[in-house]
Amino acid sequence: MTVLILGAVMFAVLFAGFSALGVWQVQRLLWKQDLIRQVDTRIHAAPVAAPPPDQLVTRQADQYRRVVVSGRFDHAREARVKAVTDLGPGYWVLTPLMTDRDFTVLINRGFVPSERQQPADRAAGQVEGVVRIVGLLRLTEPDGGFLRANDPAGDRWFSRDVAGIVQAKGVQGPVASYFIDADATSNPGGWPRGGLTVVRFANSHLIYALTWFGLALMSAAGLVLFLREEKKRRVGR
């Protein structure tokens, strides 16, 4: 009797555990689908004013929100961040924009190939005067690139770390905690090339859910087989 009870309990626990994990993945799937719908709505919405530095910005509510801001670029403090895009390897050009609302925000003006990384090699794109930028609000990336830490002292950047870049470049005054990916509006001379933001969400929750539910069914089948074998064994005594 003890073996029967222990076996039944073991299979029942496995069935319950796998089923719970399957339900959790279904919940995650619904959450991810809702997030994708929200982001798609933000990307295609009319641009709103970029939030000031004292406004809380969150991943859930603000990532990829379409925003607009006006001001003047501080080209002397631009940072170049290693990047690989559909145009090949090169750099993102991040430039502080001193806005007409008395705060600064980093603008990812777009991509330049390695041979265009120096400002002198794309002089036409170093625009002066007041500019209007429309783009997508992005959250800071403080952790560096894959297996590559940012090196502020050497001015080598592998992620768009707002706080790190601001500090290393000596940007003064109130600064937004996020950056803005500029849209595809052409810059003089064609560089930097904006509008290359890739919006992609991993969504394997359905596969995971089916896997867990499959394991739950296997556990249930195992329980049935176990009980049958126990019944045969006891009848055969």
Residue 237's pLDDT band (cuts 50, 70, 90): low
Distance in angstroms (rounded) separating the CA atoms of residues 150 and 133 = 27
pLDDT score of 39 more than 70? no
Q: Residues 21-49: what's their mean pLDDT?
A: 78
Global pTM reads 0.76
Q: Residues 126-149: what's their mean pLDDT?
A: 91
Residue matched to tokens 């959250």:
139
- The CA-to-CA distance between both ends of the chain, in Å, stands at 14
Q: Give me Rg for the CA atoms of the chain.
A: 27
44 vs 41, 48, 180, 189, 214, CA distance in Å? 5, 12, 15, 27, 39
pLDDT digits 0-9 by tens, 141-170 = 998 877 789 999 999 999 999 999 999 999
What b/e sequence results for 126-161 when a residue is b if at least 16 CB atoms lie within 10 Å of its CB, and e otherwise?
Answer: beeeebebbbbbbbbbeeeeeeeebeeeeeebbbbb
Residue 76's pLDDT band (cuts 50, 70, 90): very high
Backbone φ, ψ for residue 34 (5° rounding)? -65, -40
Amino acid at 216: A
By percentage, how much of the chain surpasses pLDDT 90? 57
Helix 2-44 with 205-235: angle, nearest 10 deg: 170
Residue 26's pLDDT band (cuts 50, 70, 90): confident
Q: What share of the chain is helix, strand, coil (3-state, %, to 5)?
A: 45, 25, 30
Distance in angstroms (rounded) separating the CA atoms of residues 117 and 120 = 9
197 vs 84, 180, 184, CA distance in Å? 11, 10, 10
Query: Are the beta carbons of 144 and 150 closer than 8 angstroms?
Result: yes
pLDDT score of 35 more than 80? no
Residue 21's pLDDT band (cuts 50, 70, 90): confident
Comparing CA positions, the residue from 79, 13, 63 lying closest to residue 223 is 13
> Which pLDDT score, from 0 to 100, does residue 235 have?
64
Query: Are the beta carbons of 191 and 87 closer than 8 angstroms?
Result: no
Q: Residues 39-58: what's their mean pLDDT?
A: 88
